[in-house]
Amino acid sequence: MYRDPSDVNRVASLGAGPIGGGWTAHFLARGYDVNAYIHDPAERDALMAVVETGWVSLTGLGLALGASMDRLTVTSDLAEAVEGVGFIQESGPERLEIKQALYKRLGEIVPADVVIGSSTSGLTMTEIAAECETPGRCVIGHPFNPPYLLPLVEIIGGKQTDKAAVDWAAAFYEVAGKAPLVMKKEVPGFVATRLQEALWREALHMVANGEATPEDIDIALKNGPAPRMAVQGQCMAFHVACGEGGMATNLDQFGPALKWPWTRLEAPELTKELRDQMVDGCNAMAGDRHFRDMAAERDRKIVAVLKAVRDG
């Protein structure tokens, strides 16, 4: 039903804010023709400022062949914006009644085989598409700020979304140079924000309790876990740090530490099932790579990251 994601040449990006503008810049840099919809013609300068800011970074990361800011069309006519596009990224205001009205209209004017991705961070697609005639192709494709820079897109449908639309969105975002993550369940904060929020709330507790200052928090992160987390994530960081034994050693040996007051968040019960899910997941990511090779790669990349932060 949906076209091959590689056949999409023109996309629409709806919204003139930092998220909409960020998406516009990203798609332009990946070589798409982009129709940018702004609600009010007066928003044009604001949109262009975001696009131009994003363009600097995207040029640094490397533009796709043929990518050009000249391939941008800005319009405040919604029908014109979605005409002939192969995908729509919607980054309108985070107000349910505005989104519902927008998706109702999109349902009327956009062919049902064109997937629509919403940048929403706080609403569900079940709510957003409640008045849309064709909710099957509506998904959430939630970026991470700044969206022109960070590759993550967290994807989930609503109750009426076709599984095929979710799969298509994941494949399309991948083709479009993003790092898609299809959510297993609808959960507030998605994956990335939940992880960051747990850390953030622990940080606020530490400041409130006189254990650290905001500067201490940032010094600790920048010089400690963050560079390694940027290279490996936290699961593979522990897997590789434990050498031959990997995540199994980490959990079997240090499992009791999950009961220690190393944070105010209580850990889940370390059941056999959870232990095996963690171990199997890390083994699958490692594949047939030896831990020494992964450690060497980690070190090489952390060196590059530290130099990037120092000299970048």
Q: Is 69 in the site for its own copies (CB under 8 A)?
A: no
Residues 265-294 that bind its own copies (CB under 8 A): 265-271, 273-274, 277-278, 281-282, 284-285
Nearer to its own copies among residue 3 and residue 17 (C-beta): 17
Q: Could you tell me the smallest distance in angstroms from the CB atom of residue 34 to its own copies?
A: 20
Q: Which strands, in side-by-side order, build the sheet including 138-143?
A: 72-75, 33-37, 10-14, 87-90, 115-118, 138-143, 152-157, 179-182
Nearer to its own copies among residue 111 and residue 225 (C-beta): 225
Within 10 angstroms of residue 62's Cβ, the number of other Cβ atoms is 9
Q: Could you tell me the smallest distance in angstroms from the CB atom of residue 177 to its own copies?
A: 11
Helix ranges, the chain (H): 18-29, 44-61, 78-82, 96-109, 125-128, 163-175, 192-208, 214-223, 225-241, 246-254, 272-286, 291-311
The C-alpha atoms of residue 169 and residue 173 are separated, in whole angstroms, by: 6
Nearer to its own copies among residue 67 and residue 102 (C-beta): 67
Residue 217 has phi, psi (to 5 degrees) of: -55, -50
Q: Is 192 in the site for its own copies (CB under 8 A)?
A: yes
Q: Residue from 73, 100, 126, 193 that binds its own copies (CB under 8 A)?
A: 193
Residues 96-155 that bind its own copies (CB under 8 A): 144-146, 149-152, 154
Judged by CB under 8 A, which stretch of 28-36, 85-93, 105-113, 226-234 contacts its own copies? 226-234
The C-alpha atoms of residue 181 and residue 284 are separated, in whole angstroms, by: 17
Q: Is 210 in the site for its own copies (CB under 8 A)?
A: yes
Q: Residue from 36, 128, 129, 206 that binds its own copies (CB under 8 A)?
A: 206
Q: Residue from 80, 234, 289, 293 that binds its own copies (CB under 8 A)?
A: 234
Helix axes 246-254, 272-286, angle to 10 degrees: 150
Q: Is 233 in the site for its own copies (CB under 8 A)?
A: yes
Burial 33-53 (b: 16+ CB within 10 A, else e): bbbbbbbeeebeebbbebbeb
Nearer to its own copies among residue 135 and residue 227 (C-beta): 227
Q: Is 253 in the site for its own copies (CB under 8 A)?
A: no
Q: Could you tell me the smallest distance in angstroms from the CB atom of residue 175 to its own copies?
A: 16
Residue 3 has phi, psi (to 5 degrees) of: -70, 170
The C-alpha atoms of residue 92 and residue 133 are separated, in whole angstroms, by: 19
**306 residue type, one letter:** L
Q: Is 241 in the site for its own copies (CB under 8 A)?
A: yes
Residues 171-190 that bind its own copies (CB under 8 A): 179, 181, 183-185, 187-190
The answer to whether 138 and 103 are in contact (CB under 8 A) is yes
Nearer to its own copies among residue 64 and residue 113 (C-beta): 64
Angle at 20 between CA 19 and CA 23, to 5 degrees: 85
Nearer to its own copies among residue 9 and residue 213 (C-beta): 213
Judged by CB under 8 A, which stretch of 39-47, 100-108, 130-138, 236-244 contacts its own copies? 236-244
Burial 121-133 (b: 16+ CB within 10 A, else e): bebbbeebbbebe
Q: Residue from 7, 45, 260, 288 that binds its own copies (CB under 8 A)?
A: 260
Q: Is 197 in the site for its own copies (CB under 8 A)?
A: yes
Q: Residue from 10, 57, 75, 167 that binds its own copies (CB under 8 A)?
A: 57
